[in-house]
Amino acid sequence: MSQSKSATSSVKSLLRNLRMILARDIEGRLVELQDRLERRADQFEQSIDLRLDARLSGIEKRLDERIGELTSRLEKGESESRQRLEELASLMSRMETSLEDRMRSLRDEINQQEAELSHRIESRLDVWMQTNDRQIDERMLANDRQIEERMGVIDLRIDQRLESIESGSDLRFSQLEQRVETRFGDIEGQLARRAGEYEAAIDQRVDLRFAAVEAQAAQNFSEHSRAVDIRLDDRQVGMDRRIDERFSGLEERTDTRMEAHELRIDRTLEQNRNDIIERTDLLLQVFDRRLDQQRRSLAGGSDATPPGALGRPNSESHRDLRSGHRQGGVTIYNEIMSWKEEAESGLDKFTADEQEVVDYLLSFIAEPDAQSYVRQHMRRYLGTLHRIPPAQRSGDAVLELGSLTPLAPAIRRFCGYQQIIGNNWWPGDEKLKEKTFERTDGGEQLSIPLHNFNVEVDQFPFADRSFRVILCGELLEHLQRDPLHMLWECNRVLEDDGQLILTTPNIAGCRSLEGILTGCSPYLFSQYNLESSFDQHHREYAPQEVSEALEAAGFEILKLETEDVWRRSNPAILELLSSCGVSTELRGDNIFVIARKAGPPVDRYPRTLYID
């Protein structure tokens, strides 16, 4: 509008040069409008191409990273696992081909939508031009012809540009510069010829109609230009929004499928890893037996280096462990390795009463993976349940910290507690939700409130003396910085004489000693968890440390025991401890403690657990 007013004032003040000023003003406005339309079309093309390239590069990068990761992990396996992982690589290549085909179909769909959009824009621009042409014909015949021809040229340019989008990105970018130069030349020639043709007519009519037409022409031209800008902007915004929505949907579906595929691959890799570990252990056992046989055959006076010692400099202690004979020529190392074959035998045998509990617990679990986990921990669950004191009053309540197990229904049925409260810790602002346990046959259901708080940082969201019993099963070893905070809070929310049932792995057990004697970690579970550090063991405890921590928190130890719930204790380790004059008590692989609240806490930071 400001340019129109400026042109109008210039025309009024310079009537002598009307021909030159009017021609230059109209030509400048048409060039400006044409440039704006071309810029918007170019920006639209670039935005579509950039988004397509970004989506494709992102998917290809993720696929390449995932394939590289799988390849590096597959190269570490044995020959049998390598064949299975090669099948996974083939599956990934097929999936990549499928994704490429889908991206091609997506490009075709986008090109089709662009063609349809260009057709709709062309048709609406034609309607708009016809309507405006009739209005301008009634008011200004000469200017109407000039504007109509200019808009026809612009319309042709838009049609040609949109058609070039459909022809493909390769030809579009290679021929773009040549078409632009050719079109600019044509436009300049057409403008020059048409300006000459209309000069005579404008000169003849300008004196008679200029006063009436001047304001109307400027107003109409600015309104039409603004309307074109607004409509094109709206169309572009709508197209961007629809394309973004389609890309967002595609990305979500691709992510979902990739996550599902990654989960399947991870499960397969985990199974392969377990198979490799088991087979490697068996191979090591066979190798050690053969090595000991060779040592015994060469022990009759040969001073040569025994088999297995070559290529192992600076490992005298390891050789001493393997070559240290016990009665009958059997080594401690050999007994440790041979015990692994039978260490877990018998742990899955239950009495009739225990089998009833086992069947009841498994009846609440439908997923095979969850059932496998519960079966692996079944001995610990049974040991925890039979240590829970029976309910004495109908209002007695139980708090289970770290509620990730199906113990709640068993606590209600076998211990008599009707009020069971759970705890877990998850990200987000949701502080309370309901957790439901339902039997697979639909015959029984139990819902408990599940509170969200961090046991070693947050204050428990319960009043003092709220619970008769607190269960802390396999949680202590997961705490990262302040276990006494949890124990102090347990003391606060327990009733007077209330009981705390605590279980945790025993780092002083026979299994840990086996790890030390064979040069391995004594931890029951020593691996890092890259997804959640809370799901790994940060510190495992000896029975004496657990006892001191509970006494510092104001508890009296009623019973402290250890049981073999993962593997049976190796008799060779117990015999070795006894021969060295070391106690064989409390050598099971898991600690079970029953502690009574005897009074208020006495020591916030015991020196045996905290640095001064």
Whether the per-residue pLDDT at 6 is higher than 60: the answer is: no
Residue 25 and residue 106 in one domain: yes
Output DSSP code: residue 390.
P
Number of helical H runs and strand E runs in the chain: 15, 8
pLDDT of residue 327: 44
pLDDT of residue 389: 95
- Grade residue 85 by pLDDT with cuts at 50, 70 and 90: low
Rounded to 5 degrees, what angle do the CA atoms 240, 244, 248 make? 175
Question: Tokens 């009958």 correspond to what residue?
Answer: 328
Whether the per-residue pLDDT at 130 is higher than 70: the answer is: yes
Rounded to 5 degrees, what angle do the CA atoms 174, 180, 182 make? 110
Residue 211 lies in a domain: yes
C-alpha closest to that of 548 among 598, 603, 497, 585:
603
- Grade residue 304 by pLDDT with cuts at 50, 70 and 90: very low
pLDDT of residue 606: 93
Q: Which two tokens stand for residue 197?
A: 């043709």
Phi, psi of 472 (to 5 degrees): -130, 80
Residue 379 and residue 510 in one domain: yes
pLDDT of residue 519: 83
pLDDT of residue 228: 75
The domain boundary, picked from 219, 254, 289, lies at 254
Residue 231 and residue 136 in one domain: yes
pLDDT of residue 610: 92
Strand partners for 590: 505, 563
Residue 111 and residue 9 in one domain: yes
The domain boundary, picked from 195, 224, 254, lies at 254
Report the amino acid identity of residue 26: I
Domain containing 538 equals 352-597
Q: Which two tokens stand for residue 499?
A: 């009981």
Residue 263 lies in a domain: no
Looking at per-residue pLDDT, the higher value among 401 and 332 belongs to 401
The domain boundary, picked from 339, 363, 391, lies at 339
Residue 360 and residue 392 in one domain: yes
Residue 609 lies in a domain: no
Task: Indicate the number of domains in the chain.
Answer: 3
Residue 31 and residue 109 in one domain: yes
Residue 592 belongs to domain with CATH number: 3.40.50.150
Dihedral angle over CA of 494, 499, 500, 506, nearest 10: 160
Residue 178 and residue 210 in one domain: yes
Residue 186 and residue 238 in one domain: yes
Q: Which two tokens stand for residue 436?
A: 């439901």
C-alpha closest to that of 398 among 478, 472, 454:
472
pLDDT of residue 505: 95
pLDDT of residue 140: 67
* Best-predicted range by mean pLDDT (43-57, 390-404, 538-552): 538-552
Chain mean position to CA 484: 32
Residue 459 and residue 518 in one domain: yes
Whether the per-residue pLDDT at 209 is higher than 90: the answer is: no
- Per residue in 142-161, pLDDT (tens digit) is 665 666 677 777 767 777 76
Residue 483 lies in a domain: yes
Report the amino acid identity of residue 326: R
Helices of type H across 452-518: 483-493, 510-517
Residue 36 and residue 58 in one domain: yes
Residue 322 lies in a domain: yes
Element at 501 (helix H, strand E)? strand 494-505
Residue 37 lies in a domain: yes
- Grade residue 2 by pLDDT with cuts at 50, 70 and 90: low
Residue 322 and residue 357 in one domain: no
Residue 295 lies in a domain: no
Residue 13 and residue 132 in one domain: yes
Residue 276 lies in a domain: no
Cβ neighbourhood burial of 589 (10 Å; 0-12, 13-18, 19+): buried
Mean pLDDT of 186-213: 69
| Residue 82 to residue 380: CA distance in whole angstroms | 37
pLDDT of residue 180: 62
| Residue 119 to residue 52: CA distance in whole angstroms | 22
- Per residue in 459-509, pLDDT (tens digit) is 999 999 999 999 999 999 999 889 999 999 999 999 999 999 999 999 999
